[in-house]
């Protein structure tokens, strides 16, 4: 056994030693020994280290430069294109179960298994030791993290997505309470994608604040600070009275230069990033937020500083801000899109839903590709994977909000919950108060599954606060923590729901850009500058207000008949949803807060009463009382 000093060499060792943290040494020493790499690089906050790692990702063939300077393409195994829920588990001591809906593994057995997988996994290869910080540095939100990985692609992604952490480790010194991540892509194929997918594991040790990820490259499984850290942070927050949410943070620009900050929780692939990137507004973050209470108000930070965005459907009309950034020589890693050799010898790219026609051939995550190509199961392979992504720093965007690195975060004026729901909830609706919002908008959220996780798409699933995949505490306790958080507030944010996916006779009722209007309306509501119609499920906009906003914001006529279709209260669907959700909270969730069940029941009672009075489908005009005599 070599000492860590021998293995690292003097220069690398000293970089670690300068942090003066005994536990950090122990951790790095243990996994260096186990993974047994031939070479080790310890990175600091020096931009030269980041540049070096980017170059090494290219040299290693994990990324390939495209013709636009700064752009590279990365591929993952055809079967490694989303979060692997089945092989992701929270480690718990023998005989304990968090909740049937949260995947767990026996801690002891899992350690045995993962240590076996990790043994000599980096033999002959290179290991990187990296330091990042979750949340802005030098703040009560900051959590320093150390990442070990053998993938320069993962390391490079983290440099784009997270704030540097070497100096933060120094600042926090020997008492730093840090999160640890060990990743190995394992053996790779000729095209440099993980080969041993049967040994793909993502194990989260909540006791030791350590996450292990093996034989996978997809970001959601490998980038420690993203969804892996979320599980650790949710637990820490519960103990300390703050929240970790699957939320965007953005500034909505209201009248007279007023900026109101919103957070928004949406399941993966349900419009979170495109909302955070609405043109005319400013982005703080698009995926993960920490929320704390201060002086009776909620303050939020973006945990990250970059975007791991879905590229499917990004086009010049609907997503002008992304479109622009993706076409400039910014530092960007594209993953799993189509690369096309242009006649002038350039490497261009295409993806599902990009402007222009799909090129007839090129290469993508399936290898050489042409239109009509089928996979082993006979399924047509699209030009890019539906969950294909781009990784970019937020500093590349013109609409970046100036508060991104404010150690105090932003004051939250409103929180929004949105799901993929084709038949139940209206496009936008305000909750009656904090508790009602947490229970009926957040904790009762359902959404149809998407390509962001491996498995079947389009299946309606319960997804409280869009956070189910990342919960490391029982659901009942998590909902309770949200209720309790509200008790500390004297100025609670307003809570809203949005639904961009409502259909009528199989057709979407809204255009993608309509969300701009919903956000302007919500902003007015936060300040009492617009009225609303009370319904059994919340408060909805008045037609006149939307008509004016559609004209002002989108220069579009908003027809009354569209309003009526979109905002008709669908009582049978709402009742069915309440029954599904109630059954889950009564039978599957342990220790559901009593308030949760009471609030579900109260909503059901209101709906039944309305049904008796008005029938199954109730026009907003009827609810407003202006047409109460209509059938
Ligand atoms: C999501 O799926 O919610 C993402 C991407 O933000 S992932 O990193 O896979 O979680
Ligand atoms: Mn996400």
State the DSSP H helix or E strand holding residue 146, giving kind and residue range, or none if neither.
Answer: strand 143-149
Mutate to test the pocket of ligand 1, among 74, 76, 83, 244 (most ligand atoms within 8 A of CB): 83
- DSSP designation for 188: B
Mutate to test the pocket of ligand 1, among 226, 307, 390, 453 (most ligand atoms within 8 A of CB): 226
CA of 264 from ligand 1 middle (Å) equals 15
Phi-psi region of 454 (alpha: psi -120 to 50; beta: other; left: phi over 0): beta
Given this model, what pLDDT does residue 95 score? 83
Looking only at the bridges linking them, the beta strands covering 143-149 and 179-184 are parallel
Start-to-end Cα distance in the chain: 83
**What digits encode the pLDDT tens for the residues 264-275?**
999 988 999 999
Parts of the chain belonging to CATH 3.90.228.20 = 243-305+404-630
Using alpha carbons, list the distances in angstroms from residue 86 to 187, 269, 573: 21, 19, 30
| Model pTM score | 0.96
CA of 276 from ligand 2 middle (Å) equals 12
Contact (CB, 8 A) for 537 and 431? no
Phi, psi of 65 (to 5 degrees): -65, 145
Taking the CA of residue 218 as reference, the ligand 1 atom at the shortest distance is 9
CA separation for the pair 59, 82 (Å, rounded): 25
Cα-only R_g, the chain: 25
CA of 502 from ligand 1 middle (Å) equals 23
Taking the CA of residue 452 as reference, the ligand 1 atom at the shortest distance is 2
DSSP letters, 91-125, are EE-TT--S-TTS-EEEHHHHHHHHHHHHTTTTTTS
Residue nearest atom 8 in ligand 1 by C-alpha distance? 220
Contact (CB, 8 A) for 88 and 103? yes
In this predicted structure, which of 100-109, 175-184, 451-460 has the lowest mean pLDDT? 451-460
Please tell us whether the domain made up of 2-61+84-240 is placed in CATH 1.10.10.10. no
Residue 3 clears pLDDT 90, i.e. is over it: no
Given this model, what pLDDT does residue 522 score? 99
CA of 172 from ligand 2 middle (Å) equals 29
CA separation for the pair 71, 394 (Å, rounded): 15
Ligand nearest to the CA of 85: 1
Contact (CB, 8 A) for 308 and 82? no
Name the one residue in this structure whose structure tokens are 């997503």: 319
Residue 50 clears pLDDT 50, i.e. is over it: yes
Parts of the chain belonging to CATH 2.170.8.10 = 309-396
Tokens standing for 169? 């480790």
Taking the CA of residue 219 as reference, the ligand 1 atom at the shortest distance is 8
Taking the CA of residue 82 as reference, the ligand 1 atom at the shortest distance is 9
- The ligand 1 site (C-beta within 6 Å) comprises 83, 219-220, 226-227, 268, 287, 308, 452
Residue 408 clears pLDDT 90, i.e. is over it: yes
Tokens standing for 240? 């300390």
Given this model, what pLDDT does residue 2 score? 65
Given this model, what pLDDT does residue 333 score? 98
Phi-psi region of 555 (alpha: psi -120 to 50; beta: other; left: phi over 0): left
> Which is the catalytic residue, given 35, 133, 145, 270?
270
CA of 595 from ligand 1 middle (Å) equals 31
Given this model, what pLDDT does residue 627 score? 52
In this prediction, residues 456-475 reach a mean pLDDT of 94
CA separation for the pair 602, 617 (Å, rounded): 19
Burial class (CB in 10 A: 0-12, 13-18, 19+), 323: middle
Residue 101 clears pLDDT 60, i.e. is over it: yes
Please give the CATH number for the structural domain made up of 309-396. 2.170.8.10
Strand ranges in 206-310 using DSSP code E only, listed in sequence order: 210-214, 243-245, 247-253, 259-265, 282-285, 289-294, 297-302, 306-310
Q: What is the mean pLDDT of the chain?
A: 96
Residue nearest atom 9 in ligand 1 by C-alpha distance? 220
CA separation for the pair 12, 18 (Å, rounded): 10
User: How open is the CA angle 263-266-267, to the nearest 5 degrees?
Assistant: 150
**DSSP 3-state assignment of 462?**
strand
Taking the CA of residue 268 as reference, the ligand 1 atom at the shortest distance is 3
Residue 134 clears pLDDT 50, i.e. is over it: yes
**What digits encode the pLDDT tens for the residues 354-382?**
999 999 999 999 999 999 999 999 999 99
**What digits encode the pLDDT tens for the residues 182-237?**
999 999 999 999 999 999 999 999 999 999 999 999 999 999 999 999 999 999 99
Q: At what angle do helices 229-240 and 475-487 cross, to 10 degrees?
A: 50
**What digits encode the pLDDT tens for the residues 558-604?**
999 999 999 999 999 999 999 999 999 999 998 999 999 999 999 99
Given this model, what pLDDT does residue 451 score? 78
CA of 246 from ligand 2 middle (Å) equals 6
Residue 1 clears pLDDT 80, i.e. is over it: no
- Confidence at 628, pLDDT banded by 50, 70, 90: very low
Name which CATH class applies to 243-305+404-630.
alpha beta
Parts of the chain belonging to CATH 3.40.449.10 = 2-61+84-240
Residue nearest atom 4 in ligand 1 by C-alpha distance? 268
Q: Tell me, yes or no, if 270 is annotated catalytic.
A: yes
**DSSP 3-state assignment of 503?**
strand
- Confidence at 630, pLDDT banded by 50, 70, 90: very low
Ligand nearest to the CA of 227: 1
């Amino acid at each position: 056994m070599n000492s860590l000093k021998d293995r690292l060499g003097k220069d690398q060792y000293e970089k670690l030693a300068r942090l003066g943290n005994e536990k950090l040494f122990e951790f790095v020493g243990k996994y260096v020994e186990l993974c047994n790499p031939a070479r080790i690089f310890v990175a600091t906050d020096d931009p030269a280290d980041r540049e070096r790692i980017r170059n090494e990702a290219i040299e290693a063939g994990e990324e390939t430069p495209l013709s636009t300077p700064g752009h590279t393409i990365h591929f993952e195994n055809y079967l490694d294109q989303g979060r692997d829920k089945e092989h992701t588990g929270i480690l718990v001591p023998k005989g304990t179960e968090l909740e049937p809906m949260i995947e767990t593994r026996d801690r002891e057995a899992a350690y045995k298994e993962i240590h076996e997988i990790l043994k000599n996994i980096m033999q002959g290869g290179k290991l990187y030791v990296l330091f990042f910080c979750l949340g802005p540095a030098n703040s009560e939100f900051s959590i320093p993290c150390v990442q070990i990985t053998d993938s320069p692609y993962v390391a490079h992604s983290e440099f784009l997505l997270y704030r540097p952490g070497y100096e933060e480790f120094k600042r926090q010194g020997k008492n730093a309470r840090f999160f640890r991540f060990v990743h190995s892509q394992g053996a790779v194929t000729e095209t440099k994608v993980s080969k041993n997918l049967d040994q793909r594991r993502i194990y989260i040790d909540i006791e030791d604040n350590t996450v292990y990820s093996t034989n996978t490259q997809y970001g959601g499984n490998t980038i420690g600070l993203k969804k892996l850290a979320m599980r650790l942070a949710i637990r820490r927050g519960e103990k300390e009275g703050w929240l970790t949410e699957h939320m965007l943070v953005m500034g909505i620009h209201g009248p007279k230069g007023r900026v109101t900050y919103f957070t928004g929780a949406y399941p993966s692939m349900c419009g979170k990033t495109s909302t955070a990137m609405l043109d005319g507004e400013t982005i703080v973050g698009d995926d993960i937020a920490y929320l704390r209470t201060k002086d009776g108000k909620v303050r939020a930070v973006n945990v990250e500083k970059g975007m791991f965005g879905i590229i499917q459907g990004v086009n010049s009309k609907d997503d002008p801000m992304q479109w622009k950034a993706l076409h400039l020589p910014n530092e960007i890693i594209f993953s799993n899109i189509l690369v096309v050799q242009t006649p002038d010898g350039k490497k261009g790219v295409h993806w599902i839903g990009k402007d222009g026609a799909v090129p007839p051939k090129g290469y993508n995550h399936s290898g050489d590709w042409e239109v009509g190509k089928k996979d082993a199961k006979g399924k047509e392979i699209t030009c890019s994977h539906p969950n294909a992504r781009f990784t970019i720093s937020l500093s590349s965007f013109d609409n970046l909000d100036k508060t991104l690195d404010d150690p105090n975060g932003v004051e939250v004026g409103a929180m929004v919950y949105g799901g993929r729901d084709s038949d139940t909830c209206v496009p936008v609706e305000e909750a009656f108060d904090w508790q009602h919002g947490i229970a009926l908008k957040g904790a009762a959220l359902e959404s149809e599954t998407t390509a962001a996780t491996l498995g079947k798409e389009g299946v309606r699933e319960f997804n409280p606060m869009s956070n189910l995949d990342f919960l490391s505490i029982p659901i009942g306790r998590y909902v309770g923590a949200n209720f309790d958080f509200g008790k500390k507030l004297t100025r609670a944010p307003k809570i809203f729901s949005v639904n961009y996916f409502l259909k009528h006779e199989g057709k979407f009722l809204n255009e993608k850009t309509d969300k701009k209007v919903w956000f302007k309306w919500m902003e007015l509501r936060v300040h009492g500058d617009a009225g609303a119609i009370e319904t059994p499920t919340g408060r909805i906009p008045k037609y006149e207000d939307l008509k004016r906003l559609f004209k002002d914001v989108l220069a579009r006529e908003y027809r009354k008949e569209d309003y009526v279709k979109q905002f008709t209260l669908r009582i049978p669907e709402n009742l069915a949803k309440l029954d599904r959700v109630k059954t889950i909270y009564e039978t599957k969730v342990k220790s559901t807060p009593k308030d949760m069940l009471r609030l579900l029941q109260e909503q059901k009672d209101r709906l039944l009463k309305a049904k008796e009075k008005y029938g199954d489908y109730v026009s907003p005009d009827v609810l407003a009382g202006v047409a109460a005599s209509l059938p």
